[in-house]
Amino acid sequence: MTDVMHSFDLFAPASIEEAAKLLDKHGKEAWIIAGGKDSFDWFKDRHKRPSAVIDITGLKKLHGVSDKGDYIAIGALSTLSEIEESSVLKKNFPLLVEAAGRVASPQIRNAGTLGGNVAQDTRCTYYRDGFPCYRAGGNTCYANTPTAMNREHALFDAVRCVAVTPSDTGPVLVALEAEMVISRNGKTRTVSAEKFFIGPAIDITRMTVLEKGDILTEIRLPKKWAGAKQYFEKVADREAWDFALVNIAMVAKVSGGKVSDVRMACGGVQCTPRRLTNVESLMKGEKVGSEMETLAKRVAARGAKALNYNHFKIPLMGSLAARAVRSLA
């Protein structure tokens, strides 16, 4: 029976240390929630049945946006609405503000968190509906068969699984060279956003480096790209309450009409946000103009391998890359 949650014990720790103890105590049976917008779907469909749910929403240290001098610190529990309304982010990183504002609906953004948006699981219909696919521990990919519906799925780096990241903010954080701070048993480690997301070749059961017992506590945005040219665009079936078919994020520094440095990333085309390094290479040191647009459009999706129903993503990637370049003019 769907839409009926299983029973579980709910814990509301008062500190990160207490949360860590609960995670250690309950092990594989523990599940962390904050906004819960991804978790509750899993619980209602009964495909995930943890016996201990740990609600960390009350951990005040993990909320808020602050300027630390060399970087902007964003608590992982900051809601997407807080990101959207932050004056510090509007001044320094408007593309993150734009991306946060394109997630789902205002009601969801009021509760959903930045940490949750980057850590959420894939939205592959077959996986979500409980099919015993590779990602769920089975021995096939139901989205990659001759009759499968796979218009939302991957163009690149499909290793058994063809699911894609659903995060709108993920490509932005990759473009901005963000750092993700992860806590585990009182110790912290920092990984780059680019390495935070992992593909099926590394671990087909996860989409990020987060393991049981890990807590994403903070996202840091180095000011290297503050004030640079920034661009974000999302294409989805509906304007609101929908996941991206393809989205794109770009930051670029332009001097004397030429691009001195640039980073560009796409979402919705592989399991992780995809760096468009081929587009970056052709842009660096070159003059902004129609020729750069044409070249970006031509190479953005080079190497893509379409499935039955997602061929449209290839020209869409090219068009979005060209529009990002055009924004520099």
pLDDT of 226:
97
Q: Is 293 left (phi over 0), alpha (psi -120 to 50) or beta?
A: alpha
Separation CA 248–CA 236 (nearest Å): 12
What does pTM read for this prediction? 0.96
Inter-residue contact 253 to 224 (CB < 8 Å): no
- Give every residue of the chain whose pLDDT is below 70, as ranges: 1-2
Separation CA 234–CA 103 (nearest Å): 10
Start-to-end C-alpha separation, the chain: 55
Q: What is the CATH number of the domain that holds 269?
A: 3.30.465.10
Same domain, 86 and 224: yes
pLDDT of 1:
58
Tell me if 87 is assigned to some domain: yes
Same domain, 23 and 115: no
Q: For residue range 212-262, what is the model confidence (pLDDT) as tens digits? A: 999 999 999 999 999 999 999 999 999 888 999 999 999 999 999 999 999
pLDDT of 100:
98
pLDDT of 46:
73
pLDDT of 186:
87
Same domain, 51 and 38: yes
CA distances from 81 to 21, 97, 232 (A): 30, 9, 17
Q: Of 58, 73, 97, which marks where a domain is finished?
A: 58
Inter-residue contact 161 to 146 (CB < 8 Å): no
Q: Of 35, 58, 81, which marks where a domain is finished?
A: 58
Q: Exposed (0-12), middle (13-18) or buried (19+): which is 255, by Cβ within 10 Å? A: exposed
H-run or E-run covering 14 = none
Tell me if 159 is assigned to some domain: no
DSSP string, 242-309: ---SEEEEEEEEEETTEEEEEEEEEESSSSSPEE-HHHHHHHBTSB-SHHHHHHHHHHTTTT----SS
Same domain, 279 and 187: yes
Tell me if 143 is assigned to some domain: no
Domain limits for position 8 = 1-58
Inter-residue contact 290 to 175 (CB < 8 Å): no
Same domain, 50 and 68: no
pLDDT of 2:
63
Q: Of 58, 75, 106, which marks where a domain is finished?
A: 58
pLDDT of 41:
87
Tell me if 149 is assigned to some domain: no
CA distances from 250 to 148, 170, 254, 310 (A): 32, 12, 13, 23
Q: What is the CATH number of the domain that holds 33?
A: 3.30.43.10
